Amino acid sequence: MMDASDCYDIDIWGDNMQRCYDSACCGAGSENVIGSFYAVLGVSNVFHSAYCYKNCHNIFGSTGLIQKQYCILNKQYAKEEYEALLPKIIEHLKKTGEWGEFFPIQMSQFGYNETVAQDYFPLTEEEAKAKGYKWKSKDLREFKPSQYAIPDNLDDVPDTIINELLACSDCAKNYKIGEKELRFYRQKSIAIPRKCFNCRHSDRKKLRNPRRLYPRECSQCKAEILTTYSQSRPEKIYCENCYLKEIN
């Protein structure tokens, strides 16, 4: 969050943003946005709405609006009508416990296991469903056998590989190579991946340090520090001061 004030429970991004609550992807002049997603570019008083852009003001429960004012459920109201209706709606939502809350999980278009939540807070299918989350089950149409053998040598890879259906060497899920992707591999002399996007992502995640902190001593000045490198790892770990001295 950059350049945001009086905001709470916001994910991304700021840039002259004020008094926003329980919302995601808001910024560039967003003011008094509550329980919304993507209310951006000089908008104000936007409640429980999504994708309301550019100078939208006084909007409730709407989606996909540009330069609109006094809309409820995407219907245009006169200023006086809006101001009379909104307090009644808020009063009702306070009784049901929905006022100010982000969109309920039932509205998510994605399975829990398709999101980064699964990366950081992994759940089994049963656990996720018990919490009311959707779950993306295996779609057999995405697991067709591949008839194509990827050449071992990048120089032998033809341009037509972008038309081929490939199958992951780990999970057997199908994937394709894009035209720009192929160009990138050739520029950087990177072999064509044998794994699908998800398996490559999961391999990269395994290279990261765990999301927990271990108490350790700075290898230089012996100050007590917290680090994602556990005590059993062989790397030299410096405190911030010693690190900065070392690299400057």
- Contacting residues toward Zn ion, per CB under 5 A: 168, 170-171, 173, 196, 199, 218, 220-221, 223, 239, 242
Is the CB of 40 or the CB of 196 nearer to Zn ion? 196
227, containing H or E segment: strand 224-227
Q: Measured between alpha carbons, how far is 178 from 17 in angstroms, rounded to an integer?
A: 38
Residues facing 217 on adjacent strands: 224
Nearer to Zn ion, 56 or 196 (CB): 196
| CB 238, min distance to Zn ion, A | 5
Residue 210 CB-density burial (10 A; 0-12 exposed, 13-18 middle, 19+ buried): exposed
CB of 204 to Zn ion, least distance (A): 13
Name the residue nearer to Zn ion (CB basis): 2 or 207.
Answer: 207
Please give the Cα distance from 68 to 56 (Å, whole number): 5
User: In the complex with Zn ion, which residue's Cβ is closer, 48 or 173?
Assistant: 173
**CB of 125 closer than 8 Å to CB of 111:** no
Cα(27)–Cα(10) distance, integer angstroms: 10
Residue 174 C-beta: closest distance to Zn ion, Å: 9
CB of 127 to Zn ion, least distance (A): 23
